[in-house]
Structure 1
């Protein structure tokens, strides 16, 4: 089940990349009662707390096509640590995000992801997702 945990988190981040399409599949990665929240001063205020699968998908959709928030966006997941038991897993990962915004700006950002999964019959699903920005800086201008 450990590989499935990482596969679920990796798939979630891939569906949040732009350009990509997350139609239909994004919600399937979360439990019905999932919680998604920003942590720390920067992300706590920016993202707050969203509860429930449908509300999480709606919130994330504000950042994904056809919304022009990102021109391009890619998430890179670094190895993390996690504990697995019979019914769930909980872990922490570092993630780097490279973004080119619709407004023209660019950014490199590193965040800590603290994620809890519950095991369903067919796959682990995210039941709690917390992201906290650790570092960000503008990327150099394109040449």
Structure 2
């Protein structure tokens, strides 16, 4: 291999590693923004949370729940307006019981970069606690897609498939915050 070929190969490999790192940060930030209470500094209400989440997506993105359990529960939202409406229904003031605790734990990561497009697969687990005291543990497989737009990676598809949903014993979480102070100065 010539010096020019070696430099080109190394530059390509570094670009892939940088893309993987940015995609990993985008996916983790998305999950962080979906946590309840929202720990993102400056995100004081659900409208701002949704605006911040939408900044991670392309205008033509798709958010979908797939498989025998999630098809009917989450459905498919195509484009920014539909995805925004999905999140508004999820965190809307009319939701009863309200979600008071939700934390996302990501594992089993695989990221595949091909130029300005990429896919990523994860498994996540999340406990949910509602205002009426009910709780559940949910796990999903994620098969997401990403595209570099103007030099920045964005989500083009969030696809989630149920692995399991398990009820939790009432009162299993004996202490959790009503607001997050994690990101306060």
When the two structures are superposed, what TM-score results if normalisation uses the length of structure 1?
Answer: 0.91
1:5 matched to 2:23? The reply is yes
Tell me the equivalent position of 2:124. Answer: 95
**By percentage of residues, which structure has more strand?**
1
1:113 matched to 2:131? The reply is no
Q: Secondary structure at the match of 1:127?
A: strand
Deviations 1:87-143 (A, max 9, x none): 111121001111002333101111000000011234211101110110111122215
Cα pair distance change 1:48/1:65, threshold 3 Å:
closer
**By percentage of residues, which structure has more helix?**
2
- The unaligned stretches of length 5 or more in structure 1 are none
When the two structures are superposed, what TM-score results if normalisation uses the length of structure 2?
Answer: 0.72
**Which stretches of structure 1, 4 residues or more, deviate above 6 A after TM superposition?**
none
1:83 matched to 2:112? The reply is yes
Quick check: 2:50–2:84 contact (8 Å CA) kept in 1? no
Cα pair distance change 1:23/1:45, threshold 3 Å:
closer
Shift of residue 67, structure 1, vs aligned partner: 5.5
